[in-house]
A and B are shown apart, each in its own frame.
Chain A
């Protein structure tokens, strides 16, 4: 049981290049999320998904696109990378705890992206 796996772990891009970050979870979780974390700051939600085939915008969605074609995978795309997107990206998945409505997130190890 690997939990939440993010690939790649590190990537350096030039301004204007595109790339996709992949998040995979093997816990059969319904919900998945992409956060970014800038130095010295908390996490900010980019996009999230409440189920296969669905996506929704979070706090800071501009410049990113996402897809959830399979329940276990959540892809984050940057179509034209900008230096402001240099950050550490965290993927998470969660399931609503039966009988309580609480929702506990499991995070991946992060993907460090640098845009030059």
Chain B
């Protein structure tokens, strides 16, 4: 799996966009980029994932560079409740035929602690 690099911490003002970077320079063509977050003491929560194209859902937007070596998670209007550790994970896609033995596992690094300030 490609290794990811994230800044250990970031601050953002409430109501402003939070842009969380992730470097994954060794990513291969069949690896997805996933973002999860973990609010203090809770289980991690899925946010978004992408392969090549930019993606958007009700929680966030994911911008993947054309060479796929980095990505940015964007929370368009950060609130205090968005304060959490954000994990960027790269993982190969699961095979469609086999009983998946490797693609289903995600390795969580230390992530970025995002603090949204009032």
CA–CA, A92 and B32, complex, Å: 19
Residues of B within 8 A of A41 (CB): 110
**Contact partners of A100 in chain B: CB under 8 A:** 51, 93
Q: Closest chain B residue to A91 by CB distance? A: B43
Are A104 and B101 CB-contacts (below 8 A) given A42-B109, A42-B111? no
Q: Do residues A92 and B110 form an inter-chain contact, with CB atoms below 8 A? A: no
Nearest Cβ in chain B — how far from A56, in angstroms? 6
Listed in ascending order, the chain A residues whose CB lies under 8 Å from chain B are: 4, 31, 33, 35, 41-45, 48, 50-51, 54, 56, 58-59, 88, 90, 92, 94, 96, 100-110
A107 lies within 8 A of B103 (CB): no
Question: What is the size, in residues, of chain B's interface with A at 8 Å between Cβ atoms?
Answer: 30
Chain A residues in 8 Å Cβ range of B99: 50-51, 54
Contacts of A4 in B (CB 8 A): 43
Complex contact B44–A90 (CB within 8 A): yes
With contacts A45-B105, A106-B46, A107-B44 known, what are 6 further pairs, Cβ within 8 A?
Answer: A35-B108, A42-B111, A54-B99, A101-B32, A102-B93, A105-B36
Complex A-B, nearest 5 residue pairs according to Cβ-Cβ distance, in ascending order? A101-B93, A107-B43, A43-B108, A42-B108, A96-B94
Assess whether A48 is in contact with B42, with CB atoms less than 8 Å apart: no
* Interface class of chain B by DSSP: loop
Tell me the smallest distance from the CB of A88 to a CB of chain B, in Å. Answer: 8
What chain B residues lie within 8 Å of A108 (beta carbons)?
43
Q: Are A101 and B107 in contact (CB under 8 A)?
A: no
Which residues on the B side are within 8 Å of A58 (C-beta)?
105
Q: Which residues of A contact B36 (CB under 8 A)?
A: 105
| Bound CA–CA A44/B44 (angstroms) | 13
Contact A103 B44 (CB under 8 A): no
Select the residue from A35, A42, A45, A107 with max chain B CB neighbours within 10 A. Answer: A42
B95 located at the interface, meaning its Cβ lies under 8 Å from any Cβ of chain A in the complex:
yes
Identify the closest chain A residue to B46 (Cβ): A104
Best-buried of B34, B105, B106 by chain A (most CB within 10 Å): B105
